[in-house]
Amino acid sequence: MAKHKKSASLTEKISILPDTPGVYMYYDSEGTVIYVGKAKNLKRRVSSYFNRTHDSLRTNLLVRAIVDMSYIVVPTEQDALNLEASMIKEYQPRYNVLLKDDKSYPWIVVTNEPFPKVFMTRQRIKDGSKYYGPYTDSGSARAILELVRKIYCVRSCRQPMTLDWIKAGKGRLCLDYHLKRCKGCCTGLVSSEEYNRDIDRIRAILRGETGELLAYLRGEMEKLSMELRFEEAQELKEQYDLIKRYQAKSVIVSQTIEDIDVFGIDDEDSDVYINYMHVRRGAVVKSVTLEFKRRLDESRAQLLGYAMSEIAESLGVKFDEVIVAEEPDVEMPSVKFVIPQRGDKAKLLEVSQKNARQHRVDRIKTMEKRNPETRTERILQRMQSDFHLSELPHHIECFDNSNIQGTNPVASCVVFKDAKPSKKDYRHFNIKTVVGPDDFASMKEVLTRRYSRLVSEDKPLPQLIVVDGGKGQLSAAVEALDDMGLRGRIAVVGIAKRLEEIYFPGDSIPLYIDKNSETLRVIQHLRDEAHRFGITHHRNRRSKSQAVSELDGIKGVGEKTRTALLTHFKSVKRLREADLDTIAELIGPAKASIVYGALHAVDEN
């Protein structure tokens, strides 16, 4: 297999690369970083780019553009992964995976004071305060703060509050005290110990440890009830109900799952979505979806490694046990990777994957709302990929035959433009040259008539022809295109009776399309329209044929006489019920006698 040529200086650099973990950078002729990568073995990884021709065009283009390289040695592969992620953000190389989401997340902070404050912030300051989060949804953080403030009376003032300041009598009761949102700690109405007991319970909620808190509140309620202190018990019950409602929104699996991280991936094309969830005691306390764009042929395992590195850096997460669909391409000796097959952990993975898919759907819907043409373009691109077309199928035609035991054979042609029906371009055909029920010959006749006319009238040809039928109908269609010299100019596929089976010329093995694919929905719509249009035409033709069949066999009665009779009487049944004089008034006594005798002779037989 051919190798990519490299300069003498680059060859020398590669030859002396160490067999250790590290990060490497490729530069183009202008000295711009065009790719950053990490490796467990630098020499082996870098050499692999140049010792063969790659299947991916983009990888080959990358290798051709490499003029120089540099590298950094690090102790472990994990260090290499972390360094690679930070360098990609710094240089944003053209050929790297593009991480589209790089933002700061909100935290809920409990300040380091005798009477701590609880509020939301996006900045972490090393002052001894405790930060909880980060929360990937600021609305969720606000909801938790609102819950905490409904349950516990914590101060919201910005005044630095020390015990000496309170003893000096500098504090004054504010509106929050009168609204029963604060216990008046600024004037010494509540002790630091009592205030901090509430703060400890708030910390438990923020850690997701609602189970212990609920048990404590339930015990306190029962104790107060036994002491007949019902008003105080009712206050605790209201707190208990609020926490239960908060827990009900976040609990999705068994409480036996203590502390675990989950990565679900949705990978359909170059855009890959990876959802991260952190679960504590059965509750999802953290969730974020990252969007990656492939620049080369990065595998799912590599992308999972990138996602773990990004989450660890941006959210400050230290992984212990991680649920994944497949093991990431990264060495983390202290991390236990779990690939579940059933049970609660499998359900967690399914939820994470569903969130990743939903993120894709939401993104697509947003794009389509802003630009309706985006959806059409996306569907056409998907069809082009599924059917291996050289151009987007803006114009598609679908053919279907219809007959009953060879009688009144017809065919229909429906036209879709930009994945939507173009009904003004629909056509139906009466089969003229085929005798008997021969679907293959009928298909060849129809395609020959259709495209001979389009060519002679210099009208645009479709990018794709869809034939309703298996290999036989497809072969007939290909033969027709060959005879007209159109083979290669128009792509053609056949649909088997099972709709998800698509046949290509010269290939006996069908392509199976995902039942949820938009391509399949368009093909299904095409075939349904072809059936409807063809059956309607066949039914009309058959009805007309049946209506005139009894008159056709009567000698001495021509087409004008038959037309006059059917126009007046509307049907053969009414004509048969009419008397001789009524018929004679319309077509004369001689012909009336012939028609009357023929129709009633049929009845007698």
Q: 265: pLDDT confidence band, cut at 50, 70 and 90?
A: very high
User: What pLDDT is attached to residue 430?
Assistant: 84
User: What pLDDT is attached to residue 497?
Assistant: 64
User: What pLDDT is attached to residue 246?
Assistant: 60
Say how far apart CA 206 and CA 210 lie, in whole Å.
Answer: 9
The full 3-state SS of 409-459, as one line of letters, equals: EEEEEEEEECCEECHHHCEEEECCCCCCCCHHHHHHHHHHHHHHHHHHCCC
Neighbouring-strand partners of residue 259? 280
User: What pLDDT is attached to residue 544?
Assistant: 59
Give the count of beta carbons closer than 10 Å to the beta carbon of residue 76: 14
Dump pLDDT digits (tens) for 519-555. 888 888 888 888 888 887 767 665 555 545 567 767 7
Q: What residue has token string 């202190």?
A: 229
Per-position DSSP letters for 474-492, written without gaps between them = HHHHHHHHHHHT-BTTBEE
Say how far apart CA 396 and CA 526 lie, in whole Å.
Answer: 9
User: What pLDDT is attached to residue 2?
Assistant: 54
Q: Under a CB-based contact definition with an 8 Å cutoff, are residues 476 and 494 in contact?
A: no
The phi, psi pair for 551, rounded to 5°, reads: -80, -30
Q: Under a CB-based contact definition with an 8 Å cutoff, are residues 280 and 132 in contact?
A: no
Residue of 306, 301, 345 whose CA lies nearest to 322: 345
User: What pLDDT is attached to residue 161?
Assistant: 82
**pLDDT exceeds cutoff 80 at 261:** yes
Say how far apart CA 404 and CA 12 lie, in whole Å.
Answer: 77
Residue of 319, 324, 307 whose CA lies nearest to 272: 307
**pLDDT exceeds cutoff 50 at 250:** no
Order the strands of the 118-121 sheet from edge to edge.
118-121, 107-110, 130-132
**Crossing angle between the packed helical segments 77-91 and 300-315, to the nearest 10 degrees:** 80
> 88-92, 152-156, 336-340, 582-586: which has the minimum mean pLDDT?
88-92
Label residue 534 exposed, middle or buried (CB < 10 Å: 0-12, 13-18, 19+): buried
**pLDDT exceeds cutoff 60 at 147:** yes
Q: Domains in the chain, please, with CATH?
A: 8-96 (3.40.1440.10), 107-250 (no CATH), 259-366 (3.30.420), 385-541 (3.30.420.340), 553-604 (1.10.150)
User: What pLDDT is attached to residue 223?
Assistant: 92
Q: Under a CB-based contact definition with an 8 Å cutoff, are residues 279 and 256 in contact?
A: no
Count how many Cα atoms sit within 13 Å of the Cα of residue 493 in the half-sphere of its side chain: 26
Label residue 453 exposed, middle or buried (CB < 10 Å: 0-12, 13-18, 19+): exposed
Dump pLDDT digits (tens) for 52-105. 788 788 888 898 899 998 888 877 776 677 667 767 877 788 888 765 555 566
Dump pLDDT digits (tens) for 479-491. 999 889 888 888 8
Per-position DSSP letters for 211-250, written without gaps between them = HHHHHHHHHHHHHHHHTT-HHHHHHHHHHHHHHHHHHHHH
Dump pLDDT digits (tens) for 185-235. 888 888 888 889 889 888 887 876 777 667 888 888 999 999 988 998 998
How far is residue 91 from each of residues 32, 98, 297, 328, measured CA to CA in Å? 9, 11, 20, 24
Residue of 519, 596, 601 whose CA lies nearest to 556: 596
Write out the two tokens for 384: 């082009």
Q: What average pLDDT is seen over the chain?
A: 81
Q: 596: pLDDT confidence band, cut at 50, 70 and 90?
A: confident
Neighbouring-strand partners of residue 108? 120, 132
What sign for the dihedral angle of Cα 335, 339, 344, 350? positive
